[in-house]
Structure 1
Amino acid sequence: MPRKDQVRNRERVIEAAVAVFAQSGPGASLETVARAAGLGTTTLYRHFPSRDDLVEAVLDELVRPVRAAAERVERIGDPHEAFRQLFLQSCAMPDHDVTVFARLAVTSPRVERHADALVVGVVRRVTERLREAGGLRAGLTAEDVAMFVRMAERTAGREQRATATEVLLAGITRVEA
């Protein structure tokens, strides 16, 4: 089990990386991240041996609130409403987080696979539940739903994202007769 100072240092690096990557882009130096965290580069590399390791940890952190929302939504009895709420919440990350996530998610093939897996992990259970209830358009998978969430994330702003989300949601689900 890691010591408290190790956990705290790891959290400081991730928090600093979010801020640095948001301000300077995904190409910002890891030395800048370490400096922003108030730590040395050796400490940063001890926790994150590569840039991809750090970027994946930042993506994990950005998705944490959406994952928590998914756990709450799973308790909704109606699979259609659960799916709708999850899809809306997945597409409604704060603009800052969406921007940072989208910019970081494409920094390498490894990171892109990780970002996709994060989104799939968030939507999988509710998507499968909707499929079992007959409310998902035939042939769509959790991976497809995750792709639609990522499409909505890439829109220019909150209003455009809301419109894209509603259109995508209407196309993904089947309306009950």
Structure 2
Amino acid sequence: MLLFLLVPFLGGCLQGPSFGTPGGCGVRGRVVLPSCEAVFPEAGVVLAYNERGEVFRGFLGENGEFSLPSFSGSSCLVYIRWKNVQLAGGFHPLQRDTLNDLGEITAYTTAQVLIYEAAHRLYPQAVYIRDIPHFLPPESFVDLVEGAIRSCRDPFSSPDVPRAAQRL
């Protein structure tokens, strides 16, 4: 059963003076990726989406760090693609006029996004990016996601992982 809490919309970094962009803020974080026969700082792509569907692009730096100083929005959905592996995380609320530290993108945050994607396909008008941090993936599902990542497979396109997310 899919469990999530709907929370009221919080202002986040949509209003006020800019941090890198008018009415904005920034986001930064870190990801630990499996070896997959390569070493950082190999180019990894970072895509961040806000609640309005705007896309912000960046790249992984050394040690898997990323920073998008011109992000604007109160919620952030981050996808990181490196080699064949993709990890993700959803964050809400973001503070305006600051560089928000999202922490580490992990198998757990990726599992939350996989559940969000499955729920959003079924209920596009009822499930939002701001809901992602409230999804509580079962440990067995996180283990499945982590297994795909450790095997250098993309959990979003590995058939067993999205199918398991759909069943939650």
TM bucket (normalised to shorter chain) is: under 0.3
TM-score normalised by L of structure 1? 0.25
Higher share of residues assigned helix: 1
Larger Rg: 1
Q: Greater RCO between the two (CA within 8 Å, min separation 6)?
A: 2
Higher share of residues assigned strand: 2
